[in-house]
């Protein structure tokens, strides 16, 4: 069987698909990943075969524009202005032409999407896959499947579903912004109503890696699949992860925060300081640009390009800004989470699900100073209920069908059968 993965250009969107790719390859199937040129390296390092034919959407740029919109509407909660959509420098309202920027970026997104869809259809017609698997923001996937008359399957990256809005790539925008639209509306805005309707018609089966407590708002027939953490390639840091009597805290800061919101949302120093004050050992996973290059206390270990799934099993708590990959990895491994959501919409809703389950705490990013983070971490590290709840949730994730168990269902679907 030939299976074509089609992914949007954001590693957090396609990393959750990698274990399914391994399972399909292990079952003897041919798997190729249609992607942008920028994603060739990460996909190749995962052991899958990239096909760099897509152009994709620059979601960082779109998110920056949404945050500029927020500044105009008075919904930007930080003292520093958001970054300019193009230069990433602090934007100046006096010289910024919002109407022109909005029209230009919408036109650019539409042109890029149409060219990307055409390339995906062309490749599908040439390679003739039996099945297409795609992520939530890959409009090319279902349209490529439709072009060659084969089924497509949506694989969610985490707790964001087809009916959930997409504030996680930006925030605080107006109702006309990208951030207040579900995926279907984004596709209609960039591709037109006919293409969006085709994507909607193609939606049948949805591979959902979330346990019930984190279940997203999704159309289609849900097929549960275990979330197997994959956060990129890297070596096991055995020299740092030897047993210790000290509590261990992981502070992880992905690249999308600074790229979309600027350094004003960077709470690395506050999180590290809070953990050090609690006499915890700290594992810091962040870029040099975000973490800085200055000296750190001996109890803080900077782990450059270290996969999160290799570090979290040795930690007692994790601090993050509610990226779906970190949230799902911590959930699957069973680590209590202190979440610092960047925006007051989607990310807070995702964080609330973890808080409601009792396996984490949440502090709004713009309120996350050292005392607030220290108090939250202290509770996670000293109150046994958080670790117990996190372990319970991890047990539920482990009970879900592994990717290998989903492969026979996909084989039946490709053969024309209805899967149950």
Residue 181 binned pLDDT confidence (cut-offs 50, 70, 90)? low
Q: Is 106 exposed, middle or buried (0-12, 13-18, 19+ CB in 10 A)?
A: middle
Structure-derived torsion over alpha carbons of residues 8, 9, 15, 16, reported in degrees to the nearest 10: -30
Helix-helix angle 98-127:183-191, to 10 degrees: 90
**Strand 281-286 relative to strand 360-362: parallel, antiparallel, unpaired?**
unpaired
Tokens in use for 156? 């969610």
Contacts of 243 (CB under 8 A, 6+ apart): none
56-70, 119-133, 225-239: which range is least confident on average? Answer: 56-70
Top-confidence range, 70-84, 96-110, 275-289: 275-289
Query: Burial code of 405-417, b = ≥16 C-beta within 10 A, e = fewer?
Result: ebbebbbebbeee
Q: What are phi and psi of 292, to 5 degrees?
A: 85, 170
pLDDT of residue 418: 47
Q: Are 138 and 117 in contact (CB under 8 A)?
A: no
pTM exceeds 0.85 for this model:
yes
Cα 102 to Cα 156: distance, rounded to the nearest angstrom = 29
305 pLDDT exceeds 50? Answer: yes
pLDDT of residue 345: 62
**pLDDT of 284-294, one tens digit each?**
999 887 877 67
75-89, 321-335, 402-416: which range is least confident on average? Answer: 75-89
Cα 343 to Cα 10: distance, rounded to the nearest angstrom = 19
* Mean of pLDDT values over 204-231: 93
Tokens in use for 365? 């990013």
Cα 169 to Cα 62: distance, rounded to the nearest angstrom = 8
Residue 189 binned pLDDT confidence (cut-offs 50, 70, 90)? low
165 pLDDT exceeds 80? Answer: no
Cα 261 to Cα 327: distance, rounded to the nearest angstrom = 19
**Dmax over Cα atoms in the chain, in whole Å?**
60
Cα 365 to Cα 392: distance, rounded to the nearest angstrom = 27
Residue 177 binned pLDDT confidence (cut-offs 50, 70, 90)? very low
Q: 363 versus 243: which is more confidently predicted?
A: 363
Give the rounded percent of residues in the chain with a pLDDT score beyond 70. Answer: 91
DSSP state of 90: B
Top-confidence range, 160-169, 236-245, 342-351: 236-245
Name all domains of the chain by residue range, CATH numbers in brackets.
2-227+400-414 (3.40.50.2000), 248-398 (3.40.50.2000)
Contacts of 362 (CB under 8 A, 6+ apart): 322, 338, 339, 340, 341, 348, 351, 352, 354, 355
Top-confidence range, 107-111, 218-222, 266-270, 372-376: 372-376
Q: Is 299 exposed, middle or buried (0-12, 13-18, 19+ CB in 10 A)?
A: middle
Length of the chain: 420
Q: 282 versus 180: which is more confidently predicted?
A: 282
* Mean of pLDDT values over 223-237: 93
Contacts of 306 (CB under 8 A, 6+ apart): 234, 237, 285
pLDDT of residue 247: 96
Q: 219 versus 50: which is more confidently predicted?
A: 50
């Amino acid at each position: 069987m030939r299976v074509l993965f089609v992914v949007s250009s954001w590693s957090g969107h396609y990393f959750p698909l990698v274990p399914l790719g391994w399972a399909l390859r292990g079952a003897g199937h041919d798997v190729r990943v249609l992607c942008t040129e920028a994603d060739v390296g990460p996909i190749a390092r995962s052991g899958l075969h990239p096909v760099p034919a897509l152009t994709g959407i620059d979601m960082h740029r779109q998110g920056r524009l949404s945050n500029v919109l927020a500044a105009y509407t008075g919904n930007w909660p930080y003292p520093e202005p958001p970054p300019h959509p193009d230069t990433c420098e602090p934007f100046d309202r006096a010289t910024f032409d919002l109407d022109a920027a909005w029209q230009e970026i919408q036109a650019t997104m539409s042109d890029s999407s149409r060219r990307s869809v055409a390339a995906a259809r062309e490749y599908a017609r040439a390679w003739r896959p039996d099945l297409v698997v795609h992520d939530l923001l890959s409009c090319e996937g279902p349209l490529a499947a439709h072009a060659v008359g084969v089924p497509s399957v949506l694989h969610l990256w985490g707790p964001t579903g087809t009916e959930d809005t997409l504030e996680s790539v930006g925030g605080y925008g107006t109702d006309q912004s990208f951030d207040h639209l579900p995926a279907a509306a984004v596709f209609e805005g960039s591709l037109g109503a006919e293409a969006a309707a085709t994507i909607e018609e193609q939606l049948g089966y949805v591979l959902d890696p979330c346990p019930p407590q984190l279940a997203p708002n999704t159309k289609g027939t849900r097929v549960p699949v275990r979330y197997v953490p994959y956060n990129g390639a890297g070596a096991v840091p055995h020299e740092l992860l030897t047993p210790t009597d000290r509590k261990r805290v992981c502070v992880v800061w992905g690249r999308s925060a600074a790229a979309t919101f600027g350094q004003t949302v960077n709470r690395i120093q506050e999180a590290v300081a809070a953990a050090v004050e609690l006499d915890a050992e700290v594992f810091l996973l962040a870029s040099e640009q975000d973490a800085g290059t200055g000296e750190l206390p001996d109890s803080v270990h900077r782990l450059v390009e270290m996969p999160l799934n290799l570090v979290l099993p040795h930690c007692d708590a994790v601090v993050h800004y509610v990226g779906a990959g970190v949230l799902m990895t911590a959930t699957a491994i069973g680590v209590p989470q202190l979440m610092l959501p960047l925006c007051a919409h989607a990310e807070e809703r995702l964080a609330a699900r973890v808080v409601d389950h009792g396996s984490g705490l949440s502090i709004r990013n713009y309120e996350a100073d050292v005392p607030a983070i220290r108090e939250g971490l202290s509770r996670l590290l000293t109150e046994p209920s958080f670790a117990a709840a996190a372990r319970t949730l991890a047990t539920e994730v482990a009970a879900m069908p592994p990717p290998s168990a989903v492969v026979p269902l996909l084989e039946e679907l490709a053969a024309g059968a209805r899967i149950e």
